[in-house]
Amino acid sequence: MSIFISSETTLEVTILVLPESSMLVLASLIDPMRAANRLSKRQCFNWKLVTIDGLPVKCTCGLEITPDEKFSPTDRGNLFFIVSGFKQFEYITNEQIALVRRLASRFDAMGGVDTGAWILAKAGLLNGKSATTHWEDLEDFTSNFRRTNVQPDRFVIDKDVVTIGGASPTFDFMLHLIRSRLGYPLALEVASVFVYDETHFSTDAQPLVSLGLLNDFEPRVTKAIRIMESRLDEPISVTAIARKLSMSSRRLENLFRQHLQASPGSYYLNLRLQRARKYVTDTLLPMQEIAIRTGFNSLSAFSRSFKQSYHSTPSAYRQKNSQ
């Protein structure tokens, strides 16, 4: 039975939390359920937290999460979520991933948040389905799981599988779930409790840069940044960006300096280097491949720009952050 139909029955939710997960992602899952229960004055949701070994796990912020119990392949319920972050495959074995696959027959729906989608995919639960993951990993996820239709959306629901791109999309998904099961008024009340008024559609694309209110104050700058984001591997000139926005290069320069205290060129370079740093620390890609993916025409040019920004060569930076 779909979990997204109107129902007064309690939704039983199990959340598997791996080490180095985001506390904000976890809170975005749990707190909307808590608020829905309080506002409706009934038990709309029951949830429990589990870890692989039943022991506390440390989030990226350093705080520990104490589980209710140990992960069990005999568990049952309505919705099983995997919350994971950095280095997810260091914290779950292939045998345990196989157990996750078996759990799919014991739950009405399976979900993965952030890199949790990688575990669902490795378990074979995303074969032939549409899915998403955090925007930083979309390219690599697509390369690794070619039987999955990867979307850049904030969250994707494909029948009995849910994948979500990060913390803010998780909150959007929970509001969608509450709205589907319990009605629009309660979803609005829950959003209001958290002063959350920027609800997005599931199909809204995940931005590389969260621009917030800048779009309201200067939409031309945000459009320029979105163009830059779409051309990290093949950078285009500031003149070409300005031409796409029907303005002069000088005008674009002035807008960037006024609102971001940076030139368009330096901002563009910083975007590419941020993506490069992600590849350096979170993948084993060769430096030459990283240079190509981030729009540098030579390894030496990439290394020089990287060192100027991060005061270290890419290789030394990777070694330092892998310790």
Q: DSSP letter string over 172-193?
A: HHHHHHHHHHH-HHHHHHHHHH
H-helix or E-strand spanning residue 98: helix 94-103
Predicted local distance difference test score (pLDDT) of residue 261: 84
206: number of Cβ within 10 Å:
22
Report the distance separating Cα 29 and Cα 65, nearest Å: 14
Rounded to two decimals, what is the model's pTM?
A: 0.71
Report the distance separating Cα 67 and Cα 54, nearest Å: 6
pLDDT in tens, 64-84: 999 999 999 899 999 999 999
| 229 vs 282, more confident | 229
H-helix or E-strand spanning residue 120: helix 116-122
pLDDT in tens, 151-177: 988 899 999 999 999 888 999 999 999
Report the distance separating Cα 279 and Cα 308, nearest Å: 17
Residue type, 50: V
Domains 11-193 and 214-321 share a fold: no
**Cα atoms in the 13 Å half-sphere on the side-chain side of 159:** 8
Written as six digits, the tokens of 2 are 């779909």
CATH number of 214-321: 1.10.10.60
Contacts of 144 (CB under 8 A, 6+ apart): 118, 121
| Mean pLDDT calculated for residue range 103-111 | 95
Selection from 234, 231, 252 nearest residue 243 by Cα: 252
Selection from 314, 219, 217, 228 nearest residue 270 by Cα: 228
Strand 64-65 with 107-114, pairing: unpaired
Report the distance separating Cα 181 and Cα 6, nearest Å: 4
Report the distance separating Cα 118 and Cα 120, nearest Å: 5
Q: What is the residue extent of each domain of the chain?
A: 11-193, 214-321
pLDDT interval class at 126 (50, 70, 90) = very high
Q: Are 97 and 119 in contact (CB under 8 A)?
A: yes
CATH number for 11-193 (one of 3.40.50.880, 3.40.50.11440, 3.50.50.60, 3.40.630.30): it is 3.40.50.880
Lowest mean per-residue pLDDT among 21-25, 128-132, 156-160, 316-320:
316-320
